[in-house]
Amino acid sequence: MKNIYTPIFIIGILLSLYSCHKTDSADFISTTSTTSNSAVYNTAMVGKWNIVSDSTYVGAGSGNHAVDYAGTAGDYFIILANGTIYTKEGSQLDTLSYHMSSDTGIVISSFGVILNGVPQVSKIITYTSTSLVIASPESLTPGGIFWRKVTLSK
């Protein structure tokens, strides 16, 4: 029985070391206006996007499993230039905030794992005028895998 606890303890220590780091403010791109600093938003992504698929993991422990949602007519992500995203999946409505951390890095509230109160930087995998794919980093925790990938089209 003692042999089972040793790997679990080591994994727990490694996860806590991974999750306990300070985010450098230089990781976030900002522009300076004459009055204040403001976050950068990718205005090229602005508009209404149809949901093709939304893949994620749900549940905890042995119940943790992948779920692939296929978008239906009327499902959308509306991305605004002010850092707001409105989503509709089936009957579920949500409002998210976002900012760009780099050309391909995007921080979206409630998208993937939030460590120490800070959402992780997701990656824009594909971006064209008609296709947008965003994926969060895959995180292995004692509760299971956490990850999300959304595929959008215009």
Encode pLDDT of 62-101 as tens digits.
888 888 999 999 999 999 999 999 999 999 999 999 999 9
Which CATH fold would you assign to the domain 24-153? Lipocalin (2.40.128)
Q: How far apart are the first and last CA of the chain?
A: 55
Question: pTM for this structure?
Answer: 0.69
Residue 11's H or E segment, with its range, is: helix 2-19
pLDDT tens digits for range 6-52: 656 556 555 554 444 433 333 333 332 222 334 555 667 899 999 99
CB 123 within 8 A of CB 138: no
The two structure tokens encoding residue 142 = 């004692």
Kindly list the domain boundaries of the chain, sorted by start residue.
Answer: 24-153
Strands 65-70 and 131-135, bridge-based pairing: unpaired
